[in-house]
Structure 1
Amino acid sequence: MEQQLIRDTPRGRGRVWSTFRSACVSIEQHTCFRILVIVIIVLSSAALMFEDLHLQHRQVLRMVVARADEVFTCFFLMEMFLKWLAFGLKKYFSDAWSWIDFLILQVSLVSLAADSLGLSGLGAFQLVRSFRALGLLRVISRFPGLRGVVQALVRTVPSMLDFLLVVLVLWTAFSILGVSLFSGRFYSCVNETSGERFSPQDVDNKTDCLWRAWGDPGVHWGNQDLNYDNVLSGYLALLQLGLSSDCVEVMYAAVDATWVVSQPSYESNPYMYLYFISFTICCFFTFNFFIRVIIDRLQRDKMSLYSD
């Protein structure tokens, strides 16, 4: 937002209005006022930490948090009016960070209105109240360094799209390969009472399992929650492998898999470890590529800033 104030006329009412706007600009740009704004932002965000499950049973703390929320909202409303008077509506709404401040303030105003009308218990207003956690974004707009980082991340979006396309191609290849290797092979005969899988010596295939299930309702022939029966299911399994540390269930099911209607056997197919090792290495390199794209963007923005 440009900080230069265009004066109206040097005489009469225009001069009074120009002097008033100059005073607003001085207040808004004063170091003490900006520090106060940052302190209020931190306090308003800290107040949200007290809004937990037990707040309803702590009447004094609930009243303090409610009054503090009203004070913080009034302060940010005053700050917004101060910027409107200092820079005008056009300059205010031409800045993306001002839009963020404006929208967060509207959330706070709607939340206060819902509390005063007794509608805060409705699901829609509870959802609106949850967006107040975005108030910490106001801190970013007050520090040029943080703004530069966010703007650099936004500029990396085109490169991220290329990265996502590469990931999509690689994951599609691994999902198709997984379907060809493991489709229909994650089924097993399980004792639902104990939660244990029958050994292949007790149950050889699906037919044996169904015979057992005829006399024992606790016996079940079922599939793993994560499997490779189709490409979409393969994507979900890969997502579990790539983003979660709890991926041994899928890996062990693949290593134990035998035939489509046969009972799995312990490590009957150990070469399938190569599939998961290859996918892990692929995830490692793609993640490093993603980080490198962001770092290169930040370095280019830093060099362009120094050159200017």
Structure 2
Amino acid sequence: MTAYGAFLHKGSFCRSYFNLLDLLVVIVSLISFGINSSRIAVVKILRVLRVLRPLRAINRAKGLKHVVQCVFVAIRTIGNIMIVTTLLQFIFACVGVQLFKGKLYSCTDRAKHTREDCKGHFIVYKDGDVHQPMMRSRVWQNNDFMFDDILSGMLTLFTVSTFEGWPALLHRAIDSHSENVGPIYNYRVEISVFFVIYIIIIAFFMMNIFVGFVIVTFQEQGEQEYKNCELDKNQRQCVEYALKARPIRRYIPKNPYQYRVWYVVNSTVFEYLMFALIMLNTLCLAMQV
């Protein structure tokens, strides 16, 4: 800060976000070390913030700084994609509420299929042992992931987009019947189209657009470093390839017998023969029961 100045002129210390992060980490460390009492809640929070110390390495490494800058630029430029994805998520959640609201309930006693019958107690066996019966109350409970409201529907669909545990929800939705009625096996198989369309549009299409946009942003930020260069991208790649090119060294045995073996092993016919043998071996392994 003494060398570059505080913040009044261009290029000063505090005009860089990375320097501000570095300054924040140093101040937090000094305050946490200066106050020894651990009973104050603020001090506890400051000590937790000491985990930011490894972030100081970003300001020291040019490559890490470039990556972080690209991430922030990408976040600012992908706002429209995030808005479209959120709107699609909201639309699918509304459709899910219309299809599954109040229909994912079930009774803890699988023998009862309606809410009116889900009363009283039933017998269960501890660890499947018929000699250890237990009495439990029947409870009409909802599924862990449901579509009873928009927020719950969006959370459920977000879980589906992560591909974690969504087959269980799919089967539960297929078995759904109506409100106050428990699941019936494969009652609505056609409802699976809803989840398939959602996965194709959100999990595949929109997520790939999101990732692709981040990659394009990284490439554009990389091109900014060469905006004053007279060479285009292809010319720069040719120059870099020529500078990094190294001659390939091949070992050729001097012994005549070794040379014959080496010549056969490195021939094209031998490579095709090995490839055919590998394919035959794979076919034999596939035919084994």
TM-score above 0.5: yes
Partner of 1:302: 222
Alignment partners' CA distance in 1, 2:159 and 2:41: 31
Partner of 1:254: 173
Alignment partners' CA distance in 1, 2:213 and 2:145: 32
Q: CA RMSD in A?
A: 2.2
What TM-score results when the alignment is normalised by the length of structure 2?
0.67
- Change in Cα spacing, 1:127 to 1:251, as seen in structure 2 (3 Å) is farther
Alignment partners' CA distance in 1, 2:18 and 2:76: 21
Q: What secondary structure sits across from 2:170 in the alignment?
A: helix
Alignment partners' CA distance in 2, 1:303 and 1:94: 24
Alignment partners' CA distance in 1, 2:170 and 2:48: 38
Q: CA deviation at 1:86?
A: 2.1
Q: Could you tell me whether the CA contact under 8 Å between 2:4 and 2:13 is conserved in 1?
A: yes
Partner of 2:2: 85
Matches within 5 A, 1:116-135: 116=36, 119-135=37-53
Q: Note the alpha carbon deviations across 1:213-262, whole angstroms, 9 max, x for none.
A: 59976111121132101111101111222236133342222111011111
Alignment partners' CA distance in 2, 1:305 and 1:204: 67
Q: CA deviation at 1:276?
A: 1.7
Alignment partners' CA distance in 2, 1:142 and 1:183: 54
Q: CA deviation at 1:101?
A: 0.7
Amino acid at match of 1:307: K
Matches within 5 A, 1:89-104: 89-90=6-7, 91-104=12-25
Alignment partners' CA distance in 2, 1:124 and 1:85: 30
Partner of 2:118: 209
Q: Could you tell me whether the CA contact under 8 Å between 1:111 and 1:120 is conserved in 2?
A: no
Amino acid at match of 2:220: R
Matches within 5 A, 1:49-60: none
- Change in Cα spacing, 1:248 to 1:98, as seen in structure 2 (3 Å) is same
Alignment partners' CA distance in 2, 1:204 and 1:298: 55
- Change in Cα spacing, 1:289 to 1:120, as seen in structure 2 (3 Å) is same
Matches within 5 A, 1:261-280: 261-280=180-199
Q: Could you tell me whether the CA contact under 8 Å between 1:92 and 1:98 is conserved in 2?
A: yes
Q: Could you tell me whether the CA contact under 8 Å between 1:213 and 1:220 is conserved in 2?
A: no
Q: What secondary structure sits across from 1:225 in the alignment?
A: coil
Listed as ranges, the gaps of 5+ residues in structure 1 are: 1-83, 192-197
Amino acid at match of 2:3: A
Alignment partners' CA distance in 2, 1:94 and 1:158: 19
Q: Note the alpha carbon deviations across 1:150-207, whole angstroms, 9 max, x for none.
A: 112212233221111111111111101111111110111114xxxxxx1xxx323111
Alignment partners' CA distance in 2, 1:206 and 1:213: 14
Alignment partners' CA distance in 1, 2:189 and 2:40: 54
Residue of 57, 61, 74 corresponding to 1:143: 61
- Change in Cα spacing, 1:291 to 1:129, as seen in structure 2 (3 Å) is same
Q: Which moved more, 1:295-304 or 1:144-153?
A: 144-153
Amino acid at match of 1:140: I
Alignment partners' CA distance in 2, 1:102 and 1:235: 40
Alignment partners' CA distance in 1, 2:40 and 2:196: 49
Q: Could you tell me whether the CA contact under 8 Å between 1:205 and 1:261 is conserved in 2?
A: yes
Matches within 5 A, 1:23-62: none
Q: What secondary structure sits across from 2:5 in the alignment?
A: helix
Alignment partners' CA distance in 2, 1:110 and 1:249: 50
Structure showing greater radius of gyration is: 2
Q: Which structure has greater helix proportion?
A: 1
Partner of 2:268: none
Alignment partners' CA distance in 2, 1:131 and 1:252: 44
Aligned length: 212
Residue of 278, 292, 306 corresponding to 2:212: 292
Listed as ranges, the gaps of 5+ residues in structure 2 are: 124-134, 229-289
Alignment partners' CA distance in 2, 1:236 and 1:213: 33
Percent identity reads: 26
Q: Could you tell me whether the CA contact under 8 Å between 1:213 and 1:219 is conserved in 2?
A: yes
Partner of 1:168: 86
Residue of 6, 31, 48 corresponding to 1:110: 31
What TM-score results when the alignment is normalised by the length of structure 1?
0.63
- Deviating above 4 A after TM superposition, structure 1's stretches of 4 or more consecutive aligned residues are 213-217
Amino acid at match of 1:221: W
